[in-house]
Amino acid sequence: MIPVKGYEGQKVAVLGLGRSGLATAHALEEGGAEALCWDDSREARERAEGQALILHDLTRADAWQDVAALIVSPGIPHLYPEPNRIVAAAMEAGVPVDNDIGLFFRSFADGDWDSFDIMPKVVAVTGSNGKSTTSALIHHALEHAGRPAQLAGNIGRGVLDIDPAHDGEVVVLELSSYQTELARALTPDVAVFTNLSPDHLDRHGGIGGYFAAKRRLFAEGGPDRAVIGVDEAEGVYLAGQMAEGPADDRVIRISVDRKLTGPGWQVYARKGFLSEYRKGRQVGSIDLRRIKGLPGTHNHQNACAAYAACRTLGLAPKQIEAAFHAFKGLPHRSQLVGEQDGVAFVNDSKATNVDSARAALSAFRHIRWIAGGLGKEGGIESLSAKDLSGVTKAYLIGHSAREFALQLGDVPYEICETMAQAVARAAGEAQPGDTVLLAPAAASFDQYPDFEKRGEDFARQVASLMSGR
């Protein structure tokens, strides 16, 4: 645990008692503060009481007396589409609002570091798609090379729940826009921006607010190195803002759309080959086509970002390449869950929007596509004929099955309703060389509590099918 600094002997309110909220409360107590906890859920409050935490009703008019700060869990809005009523009351009372990420950055360093030979570092990864894979890949490469590392944030453990740093350790954080937009301290050593596509727009007041939340990690954090995807206009803009000139190698530009040139530091992937250029000379390359855990262009972008971050941390190209080959991928993200009779079964349940589904579709050929669920605005109408060219047939499930069917153009489809029926029908019609791909392009909440449970059901149905049950 990372004891929170700066609030010793003071009262600090904690709103939201999920995983990060409970960890925050305990870290505050560990640092000598008095954590005053609240959640609208009775079950969450009872869980906090069971952990000997103090409940404090933040809905009361006198709730803010002598409170030094309010720490808010990521899912609670503080501005758009409208502030949570408790957050609004805190701001009206002049109480500073922060989150666990802000507390982490103000508390991570401690006196033990004076005896370290190599200072610990923090790598923070943000962006619309690929954050989890990129973060996990950096962490995996570090551990594969024998470097001490921890993985936390939006993946793995809560940021305040990790262990105090060891000599030379690297902490890799996946940070969502919900986390970066509010943190009062953001000081990573290396910051990574993967890409940008519209998401969470109601929470951020539009695409500009969404980008602004991501940009804070760089503009306010002032990282020593910035790894920035430049395949969207926002990334080009951000890289331009961070760099002092074309040769400034504190900024590493990455791309999967084009070859990058110039006197600076670039990493790009074309036709399955990753290339690293520095000062106009190639200094590293990897054939990504042979790496099973990173299929498709979207994963090649993740590989470029992770490679660049690892290079800033001193790993050699051959070390990174060996780690990439040993990477098995993350659950529910282009995860190979089975192969039988020449048919591959791939779980990409994390593809909850049309952009991530498009990326998954581009990674395979001869696809038996399982899609559907609780569709988002526009459904899959933005998928072009080119995006769907690899789809042999679609097997549609959930609430949006019929809506998706009307948006498929000439692609053959079948309304299956349930995962069990979709897997059975896709597997029964698949030929050697086909891929049965779950990439729903929709949320899961019509049939499952989250995308993880949806992916687990897919894997379970595949395992049952392969075992003959």
Q: Which residues are annotated as a binding site for ATP?
A: 127-133
Q: Which residues pair with 319 in a beta bridge?
A: none
Please state, as a whole number, how many other Cβ atoms lie within 10 Å of the Cβ of residue 94: 7
Residue at 392: amino acid letter: T
Residues annotated within the binding site are 127-133
* C-alpha to C-alpha distance for 17 and 21, rounded to whole angstroms: 4
Strand order in the sheet with 97-98: 54-55, 34-38, 11-15, 67-72, 97-98
Residue linked to tokens 């409050």: 45
CA dist 78 → 89, 96, 183, 216, 463 (Å): 11, 12, 12, 16, 44
Q: Are 364 and 346 in contact (CB under 8 A)?
A: yes
Please state, as a whole number, how many other Cβ atoms lie within 10 Å of the Cβ of residue 435: 22
Opening angle at CA 323, ends 320 and 325, nearest 5: 115
Angle between helices 233-242 and 207-219 (to 10 degrees): 30
Residue at 227: amino acid letter: V
Show the DSSP H helices in 269-346 as ranges.
296-312, 317-326
- DSSP annotation of 469: -
